[in-house]
Amino acid sequence: MKVAIFASGNGTNFEELAQRFHTGDLPGELALLFCNHPDAPVMARARRLSVPAASFTVSSCGDKEHYEGRVLALLKEHQIDFIVLAGYLRVVGPTLLNEYDHRIVNLHPAWLPEYPGLHSIERAFNDHRSQTGVTVHYIDADLDAGPVIAQCHVPILPTDTVATLEARVHETEHQLYPLALREALLAAGEKEHQ
């Protein structure tokens, strides 16, 4: 099974996952990184790790519909079977959802359904919650609302700052995402062989 990772920024989760594909900890082949920001640091990580990478923006395509059409053509060109979102800061539209139904997985830095969308860590911190979390889920047409694969709570300590909480959430992401992703990829592989 050929896998594409979508990312928008620094790429720490991308690198963690890429190494696990490389060692065989994750089933399938990491065949592509797609980034919607050509200058994002994740592009340099992909080059360093010898992962094929492509990048273009919505504005370079004219609009979201043409952008998603171009992304879909890229995925078909690379014969991609499964998409992993790792810090991809765009809402995935119907063009990709219809083609990859139940084959797009996302990592979200909150215990969904709490704090969907952006700035989840800061919002939980500012609400003085005792805990937040990390969720791995399939995506659907609703924002951060698809079926949950795995979740893990992250305590918010009295001594925390947003930065220390964010570091702990990211540490939890790096532990949970590979385990949940392995489960999702194995399930997708079984479906393919039925």
Residue numbers in the known binding site are 11-13, 64, 106
C-alpha separations of 160 from 26, 29, 114, 134, 170 in Å: 33, 38, 20, 17, 14
Catalytic residue among 66, 102, 108, 174: 108
Residue labelled with tokens 């594409």: 4
Q: How far apart are the first and last CA of the chain?
A: 14
- 66 given a catalytic annotation: no
| Of 84, 131, 75, 80, residue with least CA distance to 107 | 84
Are 27 and 6 in contact, with CB atoms under 8 Å apart?
no
Please provide the DSSP assignment of 136-162 as one string. Answer: EEE--SSTT-SPEEEEEEEE--TT--H
Query: How many CB atoms within 10 Å of residue 101?
Result: 10
Q: Quick one: tokens of 27?
A: 């089933």
Query: How many CB atoms within 10 Å of residue 27?
Result: 15
Active-site annotation, residues: 108
